[in-house]
Amino acid sequence: MKRRQAIFLLGLATVSGGLAIACSNQTPNTANVGGGTNSQELTIYSGRSKKLIDPLIQQFQQKTGIKTQIRYASTAELAATIQEEGKNSPADVFFAQDAGALGAIQKAGLATKLPDKFLNQVEPRFHSPDGMWVGISGRVRTLDYNTKLVKPTDLPNTVVGLTEAKWKGKVGWAPSNGSFQAFVTALRVSVGEAKAKQWLEAMKANDTKVYENNVQILEALSKGEVTVGLVNHYYLEELKKENPQVPVAHHFLNDVGSMVNVAGVAILNTSKHREAADKLVEFLLTPEAQKYFAEETYEYPLADGVKPATNVKSLAEIKTPKLDLSNLDDLKGTLKLLEQTGVL
Amino acid sequence: MKSQVSRSVAQNPNVPPESSTLGFMKISSLWSRKGNQPPWVLLVAAGIVAIAIALPLAYLVMRTASIESSELWELVSRRRTLQVLFNSAAMAVIVTLSCAAIAIPLAFLTLRTDLKWRRFWLIATTLPLAVPSYVGSFTLLSAFSPKGSLLQLLVEPLGVKELPSIYGWTGTILAMTLFTYPYLLLSVRAGLQGIDPALEEAARSLGKTPQQTFWQITLPQLRPALVGGGLLVALYSLRDFGTPSLMQFDAFTRIIYLQYRGSFDRHAAAASALMLVGLILLILWLENRVRTRAKYYSRGSGRFNQGSLRQSHSPHLVKLGFWQLPAQIFCTLVVSLSLVLPIGVTLFWLLRGWSNTEILPSLLPAVLNSVWASGIAALVAILFALPVAILSIRFPSRLSAILERTAYLGFGLPGIVVALSLVFFGANYVPWLYQTIPMLVFAYLVLFLPQAIGTLRSSLLQINPQLEESARILGKSQWSSFCQITLPLLRPGAIAGAMLVFLTAIKELPANLLLAPIGFETLAVQIWKATENVAFADAAAASLTILLVSLGSTLLLLSQEEGRGRDEVRSQKSEVRS
């Protein structure tokens, strides 16, 4: 009996000893890796995916010799994290999926002004008016449709067309999704609060199907659960890489339904590596990096003189409405409207 | 002698069969009456736990306090808020009840009957715990969504163009039940194993039918296990994000995420989370009321009762007879929906996109990271849960009760809320710890501690304190009598608790994303990254790996549990002789 307990205690001791060793082994490494405050490395918080960003940053490291650390999470989580960290944020650069998150960081007074030479490389509508963030790549809202269920000629030309009775129960949208909400904000800005409300109510009355995100809408489209869906353009291209037979195609609307939003970067004002951070922004706007976004993500390059990937319609061809993205920061108002109308 | 003991038990189950022959009653005051100081080790551990509980709460109060009162009132009094409150509460209740409807029969079938392939079912019914709820819900959708799903395609030749919608209540309850019932199952199983077989035998020998024995003896004994497991299920359903978001169900978690995501508004999200805290406290209060009586029933029943000492052997198995087939169908149905379906669908995705998978080389490091972090989380959770459980049972006071109760808060809150609170305190007050492994483990502690507390507590309740007292009378110190008597008996509870924490931690996402050192990738992180890229094959590969790892560890732990169970019986016998 004694022996059994001795063995048990021995086991317990071994495990806790091992734990202590593991922890003490790990701590110096990770303090170095994670802390970021003492190291001479550039720390990036990326709301964009690792698959996309990692190869690009590798190139950046090779080219400039600047070492980087990247924390990947969703754009919203990182925006909240940066705000919670406040002046102790280990991050130097925030690479966000959409302009709204960058606007939130700017409003919290956590971003710092970018040099004009960067801002001037993109159209004024694709950077913050105060110069606190700059767009790196553009994404277009589209009406994707199931090619087996509807002919392109039968598709509407405006988002208002979707409120007609023939689309009852056949449209999919993702009201909780950031890019959809940016679109609603754009709608409010372009047609006014009252009409935007009217549209949302009409869409809801028309039995529009709710999904969590763009990917889910595309799944539903390919299964024929809905006929058309309001999405960002590049998800379809991604899906086709894995499953080329998906019976889904793009349709570009002639109004705010095909607005262009951006993914962009901001440098935090707590950054202790300002020079390296500037170099990163500069690199992201080089033709090389811009081309990479065009080819890998089918997004639109924003820096002057770089063309989009061949199989995407060019920005000029799409009749994008004239919109000031800096007016799209009233997300609270949009959220309120979505809740008022019962869409969310 | 046997019938004498039996009668006293059967007539009055709340009175422990006094060890009057030993005459130790007075000594029991050493351990459990007032005036008794708990050892400082316990107090230190409890202090750390108290901090772990207080941090998220303090954070939420602080963030909510910075909202202007008019705005706050508008936020709280909206119809939508009330709707969400109702949805969440109703969901928690329904999910808990339907989990009980699955878990209780399964526990009995796999432990107490001559169910065929019992070993297989014992393991298979535990494994759905390893299915991340977002993966599980996604596969349910691809199987049962209204159009283009597997089921719809199957019945299409019959003219069914569209199935009734699975979104909303139906899908949420279904998914939550299928992937959380194992919490209750494990707890009930541990409870069943802790019941003294002599009690049931006594009832039977007094002429009770098996049914009467079940309702009058077994079920009341199971009450702590049922209540503890049910609490875990209810809180898990409140904290889960994957299912409500995919099933488009307005629960608190979904609203909280929407507030972060939609308006980057930390304050409104905190206010919602604080309301969720209110709901959790209500549930804890209700549970406490049920539990107080539960404690009453089981206190006296240890495995070391005289009756069981004399004739300890495993309880006899109920012959299923005619019920064998329905039982098999029931098990098959549960396992195919909660385990075979997710595995099947993920396997299909993996094979469909096999040529596109890029994730495979990075899987092994992720497996190691996942196992390492979750393993440490399990160990640390047990180490800290033990003092809390001991304090709450052996040193009952208002303070220890509050500590034990409020520990559950972290488990009921969405991961993102807890993670952000630790981001705030970590970055601003302990920057040298921020985004390191110890920090991540601490986050796990906040999130998952109650799982370990629950199982340890119900194990501890089944151990008669008189055993330790006897040891002390025989000259053992408090510490060594604890180590030699109580600790070995706590093993089933500790193993079940460690397993729960491990299997939940391996699925955890927000804490990993925000608090782990940069570059520390776990399997859950890889699933998330793959879905970000619409890479179904990669997501499937990572999901299957999580399933495999969890399967392996579950098997390991189950084998331990069984081996030890046998050893214990043996050791009890030999101790009696010596």
pLDDT tens, position by position, B184-202: 998 888 778 777 777 777 8
Q: Are the Cβ atoms of B518 and A70 closer than 8 angstroms?
A: yes
Q: Are the Cβ atoms of A81 and B423 closer than 8 angstroms?
A: yes
Angle at the Cα of B72 from the Cα atoms of B71 and B74, rounded to 5 degrees: 65
- The runs of H, that is alpha helices, within A158-192 are 178-191
Facing B436 at nearest CB: one of A31, A86, A222? A31
CA atoms within 13 A on the CB side of B400: 22
**pLDDT computed for residue B301 by the predictor:** 40
Q: Are the Cβ atoms of A90 and B266 closer than 8 angstroms?
A: no
- Is A234 annotated as a binding-site member? yes
Token digits of residue B469: 């007292």
Verify that A164 and A197 share a domain, yes or no: yes
A2 inside domain: no
Verify that A249 and A164 share a domain, yes or no: yes
Cα dihedral B532/B534/B540/B542 (nearest 10): -30
- The runs of H, that is alpha helices, within B353-414 are 360-394, 398-406, 409-412
Compare all CA atoms of chain B with the CA of A48 and give the residue at the minimum distance.
B532
Q: Are the Cβ atoms of A77 and B416 closer than 8 angstroms?
A: yes
Verify that A239 and A285 share a domain, yes or no: no
Q: Quote the CA–CA distance of B293 and B283 in Å, as a whole number.
A: 16
**pLDDT computed for residue B32 by the predictor:** 42
- Where does the pLDDT of residue A28 fall: very low under 50, low under 70, confident under 90, or very high at 90 and above? very low
Chain B residues touching residue A176 (CB < 8 angstroms): 245, 254, 257-258, 261-262
Q: 3-class DSSP state for residue B355?
A: helix
Provide the domain count of chain A: 2
**pLDDT computed for residue A265 by the predictor:** 95
Q: 3-class DSSP state for residue A134?
A: strand
Q: Are the Cβ atoms of B248 and A212 closer than 8 angstroms?
A: yes
Taking the model in full, what pTM does it have? 0.81
Facing A23 at nearest CB: one of B353, B437, B514? B437
Dihedral over Cα of A155, A157, A162, A165: its sign: negative
CA distance B323 to chain A (A): 41
Verify that A159 and A247 share a domain, yes or no: yes
Facing B262 at nearest CB: one of A5, A27, A181? A181
A328 inside domain: no
CA distance A151 to chain B (A): 20
Residue A25 has pLDDT above 50, yes or no: no
Q: Are the Cβ atoms of A224 and B372 closer than 8 angstroms?
A: no
CA distance A193 to chain B (A): 18
Verify that A67 and A91 share a domain, yes or no: yes
Verify that A128 and A211 share a domain, yes or no: no
**pLDDT computed for residue B292 by the predictor:** 59
Verify that A196 and A254 share a domain, yes or no: yes
Region A85-92 average pLDDT:
92
Q: Are the Cβ atoms of B353 and A242 closer than 8 angstroms?
A: yes
Mean pLDDT of chain B: 80
Interface test with A, best of B75, B138, B154, B263 (most A CBs within 10 A): B263
A324 inside domain: no
Residue A66 has pLDDT above 70, yes or no: yes
CA distance B138 to chain A (A): 10
CA atoms within 13 A on the CB side of B348: 10
DSSP category for residue B164: P
Compare all CA atoms of chain A with the CA of B153 and give the residue at the minimum distance.
A223
**pLDDT computed for residue B172 by the predictor:** 93
A1 inside domain: no
Chain B residues touching residue A52 (CB < 8 angstroms): 533
Q: Are the Cβ atoms of A72 and B529 closer than 8 angstroms?
A: yes
**pLDDT computed for residue B15 by the predictor:** 40
- Residue that wins the pLDDT comparison between B292 and A20: B292
Q: Quote the CA–CA distance of A78 and A70 in Å, as a whole number.
A: 12
Q: Are the Cβ atoms of B423 and A211 closer than 8 angstroms?
A: no
- Tokens 């499937």 correspond to B540
Token digits of residue B149: 């799903």
Radius of gyration of chain A (CA): 24
Facing A76 at nearest CB: one of B264, B532, B574? B264
Q: Are the Cβ atoms of A84 and B424 closer than 8 angstroms?
A: yes
Verify that A84 and A121 share a domain, yes or no: yes
Verify that A179 and A116 share a domain, yes or no: no
Facing A331 at nearest CB: one of B262, B431, B516? B262
Region B2-11 average pLDDT:
39
Verify that A173 and A134 share a domain, yes or no: no
Q: Are the Cβ atoms of B574 and A1 closer than 8 angstroms?
A: yes
Q: Are the Cβ atoms of B438 and A79 closer than 8 angstroms?
A: no
Compare all CA atoms of chain A with the CA of B435 and give the residue at the minimum distance.
A34
- Where does the pLDDT of residue A40 fall: very low under 50, low under 70, confident under 90, or very high at 90 and above? low
**pLDDT computed for residue A20 by the predictor:** 44
Q: Quote the CA–CA distance of A31 and B432 in Å, as a whole number.
A: 7
Query: Which of B233-247, B453-467, B506-520, B563-577 has the lowest average pLDDT?
Result: B563-577
Verify that A62 and A202 share a domain, yes or no: no
By CB atoms closer than 10 A (0-12, 13-18, 19+), residue A14 is: exposed
The CATH number that applies at residue A211 is: 3.40.190.10
- Where does the pLDDT of residue B443 fall: very low under 50, low under 70, confident under 90, or very high at 90 and above? very high
A276 inside domain: yes
Region B425-445 average pLDDT:
90
Please report, for residues A78, A257, B261, the alpha-carbon distance to residue A97 in angstroms, rounded to integers and kept in the order given: 11, 19, 12
- Is A292 annotated as a binding-site member? no
Compare all CA atoms of chain A with the CA of B369 and give the residue at the minimum distance.
A26
A22 inside domain: no
- Closest by CA position to B460, among listed B432, B437, B480, B485: B485
**pLDDT computed for residue A205 by the predictor:** 93
Chain A residues touching residue B156 (CB < 8 angstroms): none
Region A283-294 average pLDDT:
91
Facing B517 at nearest CB: one of A33, A79, A239? A33
Residue A27 has pLDDT above 60, yes or no: no
Q: Are the Cβ atoms of A5 and B488 closer than 8 angstroms?
A: yes
What digits encode the pLDDT tens for the residues B294-315?
443 443 444 444 333 334 455 6
Facing B437 at nearest CB: one of A30, A74, A235? A30
Q: Are the Cβ atoms of B536 and A19 closer than 8 angstroms?
A: no
Angle at the Cα of B174 from the Cα atoms of B110 and A76, rounded to 5 degrees: 120
Chain A residues touching residue B75 (CB < 8 angstroms): none
A3 inside domain: no
What digits encode the pLDDT tens for the residues B254-280?
888 888 877 777 888 888 899 999 999
Phi-psi region of A45 (alpha: psi -120 to 50; beta: other; left: phi over 0): beta
Residue A303 has pLDDT above 60, yes or no: yes
Strand partners, A172: A209, A229
CB-based contacts of B219: which residues, under 8 Å, 6+ apart?
Answer: none
Q: Quote the CA–CA distance of A52 and A64 in Å, as a whole number.
A: 19
Compare all CA atoms of chain A with the CA of B375 and give the residue at the minimum distance.
A19
A318 inside domain: no
Residue B575 has pLDDT above 90, yes or no: no
Verify that A60 and A154 share a domain, yes or no: no
Q: Quote the CA–CA distance of A52 and A298 in Å, as a whole number.
A: 11
Angle at the Cα of A341 from the Cα atoms of A337 and A344, rounded to 5 degrees: 80
Residue A324 has pLDDT above 70, yes or no: no
Q: Quote the CA–CA distance of A247 and A250 in Å, as a whole number.
A: 11
Token digits of residue B140: 């349910």
Chain A residues touching residue B483 (CB < 8 angstroms): 5, 9
Chain B residues touching residue A22 (CB < 8 angstroms): 372, 376
- The runs of H, that is alpha helices, within A206-320 are 214-223, 234-242, 274-284, 287-297
CA distance A184 to chain B (A): 11
Chain B residues touching residue A50 (CB < 8 angstroms): 529
CA distance B362 to chain A (A): 12
Chain B residues touching residue A211 (CB < 8 angstroms): 248
**pLDDT computed for residue B548 by the predictor:** 86
DSSP category for residue A92: S
Q: Are the Cβ atoms of A35 and B372 closer than 8 angstroms?
A: no
- Where does the pLDDT of residue A91 fall: very low under 50, low under 70, confident under 90, or very high at 90 and above? very high
Do residues A175 and A298 lie in contact, with contact meaning Cβ atoms separated by under 8 Å?
A: no
What digits encode the pLDDT tens for the residues A187-238?
988 888 999 999 999 999 999 998 888 888 998 899 888 999 999 988 888 8
* Domain span holding position A240: 139-259+334-341
Count of CB pairs separated by less than 8 Å, A with B: 184
**pLDDT computed for residue B402 by the predictor:** 85
Q: Are the Cβ atoms of B78 and A339 closer than 8 angstroms?
A: yes
